[in-house]
Every structure is written in C-alpha cells, then in structure tokens.
Chain A
Amino acid sequence: MTAASPADVTPTPVAALEAGAVRVSLQGTEILHGVSLEAAPGEVVALMGGNGSGKSTFVRAIVGAIPRDAGTISIFGKDATPDARRLIGYVPQRVSAAGGVSATAQEVVASGLLGHRTLRPPKDTDARVREALSALSVEDLAKHDVSRLSGGQQQRVLIARALVRKPQLLILDEPMAGVDLQSQVALAHALGHLKEHGVSIVIVVHELGALTRLIDRAVVLDHGCVTHVGEPPHDLGVHALPGHDHEHAHEDPPPAGRNSLGLEGPR
C-alpha cells in the first residue's frame, strides 16, 4: 500500500492513520492476518468487504476497543496510546445506542467530550453538544430519549457524539446500515463538510450509495486480508460479496495526481 508514488520526492506529510500488518485474534482464532491501511490528512477511505471479512474487527483494533496481537497503529505519526486517540472520533455499529436506563441525545453526545484525562465534562459542554447536534440537523432531538428515536436519528446522534470531540480522524463502522434516506443525505452532507475542513475519514460500508462522491480510495478486505486497494470497485458490491473469489491480492494503479475533489462515482 505504501508503494512509491510520484509525490515521494517531497517529504511525505504525516499520515492521519497508519496501520501496519495488524493481526488480531478473537477467542483464539486469528481474524486479521496482517492488515495495513493508510489515510492521508483529509482523505476519505472506504473499508469494504463481505460479512466476516474483518472490517469491524480492524476498526475496533484501530480505536483500541480490542487488543491486537501484532502490528503497528499510529495516529498522526504517534503511537496509538489513549492520549493520541483523543484525535479520533469513533462511530461504532449502531447496536449500543441504548442501555438499560433511558438517556437523552444531549447526555449521549456529551459523553463524547470525555477522554484519557477528562473524567468530568468541560464547562462549555452544552454549547459544544448543541453545535454537534446541529451539524447533523438533529438539534431539536437533544432532550429526546435516544432509544425511542428512529434508526437514522440514532445514527446521527452517535455521529454527533464523535464530532463533538472535533476529531482529526473520523472512523465510522457501517453508518448507513438501517438508516433512512433523509439521514443518509444529512450524513453525507456532514461528512463532505468535514472532508473540506481536512478531517480524515475511514468508513466501513457495504454499499457506497450517497457517499460515492466523497470516497477517495477503497480498501477491500476478505477473510482478514487486504484484497484490493485503489478506486472503489466499479461493480458495487462484487468485492463485498461473501462468495467473491479473490484469487490474488491486487492493487489498482494509483490515480495520477490525486484529485482533491475525490474520484468520480461509478456509473
């Protein structure tokens, strides 16, 4: 993935995310067999692959939710310690939007302001939470019980929880799954805005859909190995299909002179 590119003549800027040969085992079974991924500042990388390909495991290892057996992960050139991870905004799969006690969107988003050395909410919490909810057009839901919101609304609240941290690297795991069209459009709009402001985004997706125009590069995983790096697969979903036969790992030629507006979508 780090094959020489014409830009190598000048000193390469520090990557927002650099994961090298990451190996992860869950319950004694190796799930990731040395996965690497790099995201430049302001770059949007789609992480694709079928069910069980290891996409979620990979992002969970990046954010430190699960330990890795081997490999390196650095965030803006620093080893991914809890302190370095303060630059990350993570949006996990929407399975944990509700606990046993009701919580408002305001409370859920405010929890995004905590961190390694921040065990208590900062003074400007309310204003920052409002700002994050507004960025996803859900400010009117601040006082609503998250567990009673629609899937799309819940997803927007979880993204607001990541954005309230003002992350330099945003990592989203299947944000479009079970999300209504209106929320998909709001989400794509918010991500486009972040990209314009130089935020790097790694996004796990099954289908690109409304995100197509944002994606700079796709990395496809299959059975815990990288099988494709480059343009998003033109036949959407082919690489993502569980039965897709990847006989060999291949790498698409890097686009000549990366277009800062991103690649044109398929079709």
Chain B
Amino acid sequence: MNILAEPLVQRMLLVGLLVGMAAPIVGTYLVQRRMALLGDGVGHVALAGVAAGWLAGSAAGLAQRDALAIPGAVIFAIAGAVVIEKMRSKGEAADVVMAILFYGGIATGVLLIGMAGGSNANLLGYLFGSISTVTWTDVWITAALAIAIVVIGLGFKSALFAVTHDTEFARSTGLPVEVLNLVVAVLAAVTITVAMRVVGVLLVSALMILPVAIAQHLTRSFSRTMYLAMGIGAVLTLAGVSITLTQNLQPGALIVVLGVVAYVATTAITSLVGRRGQAS
C-alpha cells in the first residue's frame, strides 16, 4: 500500500490509466476502417519529430534539450496521419504510403538525432517507452490530450462511426466526410504521441488495437466494443505498470504481452463456448 504514496508510482499509474483508456477509442475507428497498422506508420514519423524537436532544442540552446521532443512528435505525427488520409482518400494504396513513412520516419529520426549531437540511445526511450521517467508536466500534458481524445472520440461517435462504416452512404447524407476523416487522422496522431511515452513507438499500435481485438470477442455492438476496449486498455496498462513496480520488467513490453495473452485466452474461451448468443 505504501508504494502508492510514491509520487513516481502515482504518475506512472495515472499516465497508464489515461493512455490505456484513450488509445482504444481511436483504435476502434482504425480497426473499423481496416487500418490497424496506421499507428506503426505514424509512430515512426513521430520518432522523426522527436529527433527534430531535439535538434531544435539544441539549436535554441535550451537547457533541457528534449523539451521540444514531444511538440515535435505531435506536429510530425499529425502531418504524417494527414498525408496518409489524403493518399487513402485519393485511392492510393495506403499500405505502401504507410510503409514509406515507416522507413522514412525511423531513418530521418536516426539522422536528425545524430545531427543534434545525441546518440541513438536517446531515441530508445521513445522506441520502447519510458513511463518510469514521467514528470508531473508529462502527466498534465497526457491528461489534456487524453481528455481531448475522449471528448471528441466519444462525443462524435455516431458521425465518426457513419463515416468509417460506410463512407459512400455518409457522403450521400451530407455529412462532412473529409473533415471527419481528418478528425480521425488527427486523433490517431495525438493518441500515438501520447501512447509513445508508455509503450514506445514500436508497440504503440498494440495499445490501440489489442483491446479492440479482445473486446470484439465479447460483444457484437460497435459502441460496446469501444467502451469495453477502453476498460480492457485501462486494466492492461494498470496491470502492466503495477507488476513492474515489484518485478524488474520493461513496462511497455509487459503491457503488450499481457494484451496478447488476453487476446489468445479470449479467443480460446469464446471458441470453446461456441458462438451461441450472437446478439450482444
């Protein structure tokens, strides 16, 4: 119990809870649109943004050289997500665009961090997550962004569902399809940047997608899938962080492994139980 009084522990649990709840909201829209891997492409662009922020911080002579890393990541991630969305809506092969951003992002990140006088080791925290180094400032930024994701992602759920479920019909109803598509892209970019701190760029997609994949075994409704995935995401991150308080394990990797285990378990259980009760 005493351990919960530790400010660092409080910060880690709080960030874990916020990210665990927020990430599956966007994940549900991405899975709906069959773009589950968007997080990987945009995540790597965010990494280039981290390095660019680092470079800008060094050039400006800031005392804390990585002060601009997260703002850099947000800007790059949004730009990357918007590019993918524009190419997708033009009918280009989105997977190829994502693959190019994937390689381009990580290569640019490595080059820029070198130019900023840093080493690739400085990027490791962003690649694999570094929840054990969060400051109160990080917590407030994460909270603000997570609240924005929840408010927009849940507040416009019906319209975002309509657009991701059947774009052609949505367009016929007069819904502002392009604007709503951009909202999904920007929400995804913000989510990726926020989640990067917890699980790292390499595993950021997992936090958005795994809870949705698990929830899909348990309900047939879109709304319930989203709410359930938020709960599952929160439980996974809290469980992962809690275990690493006493065990010397990497939190981001543990959270993802717990998610994969939960996915395999629910798959096995639901197929054993059979497909009775098709209605949610």
Q: Chain A interface (Cβ within 8 Å of chain B)? A: 27, 60, 63-65, 82-83, 85-86, 88, 90, 92, 96, 99-104, 107-108, 110-112, 114-116, 119-121, 143-145, 148, 161, 165
Contact = CB atoms under 8 A, between A and B. Distances in A.
Most buried by B among A103, A111, A112, A143: A111
A86 B165 contact: no
B88 interface: no
Nearest to B168: A65
B158 A101 contact: no
A117 B225 CA distance: 27
B117 interface: no
A145 B280 contact: yes
Contact of B175 (A60, A99, A115): A115
Contacts of A101: 28, 31-32, 212, 216, 222, 225
B56 interface: no
A201 B74 CA distance: 48
B216 A102 contact: yes
Contact of B156 (A104, A120, A145): A120
A100 B175 contact: no
B174 interface: yes
Interface residues of B, number: 36
Contact of A116 (B165, B174, B220): B174
A223 to B, nearest CB: 23
Contact of B220 (A63, A100, A112, A145): A145
Contacts of A90: 169, 172-173
30 contacts: A63-B171, A65-B168, A82-B176, A85-B172, A90-B169, A92-B172, A96-B168, A99-B34, A99-B164, A99-B166, A100-B33, A101-B28, A101-B222, A103-B161, A103-B165, A104-B221, A104-B280, A108-B165, A111-B170, A114-B162, A114-B170, A114-B175, A115-B173, A119-B158, A120-B159, A143-B220, A145-B221, A145-B279, A148-B278, A161-B169
A27 B32 CA distance: 26
B132 interface: no
Contacts of A110: 158
B166 A111 contact: yes
A85 B171 CA distance: 10
Contacts of B244: none
B219 interface: yes
Contacts of B173: 85-86, 90, 112, 114-116, 165
A111 B280 contact: no
A100 B225 CA distance: 12
Contacts of A27: 91
A143 B280 contact: yes
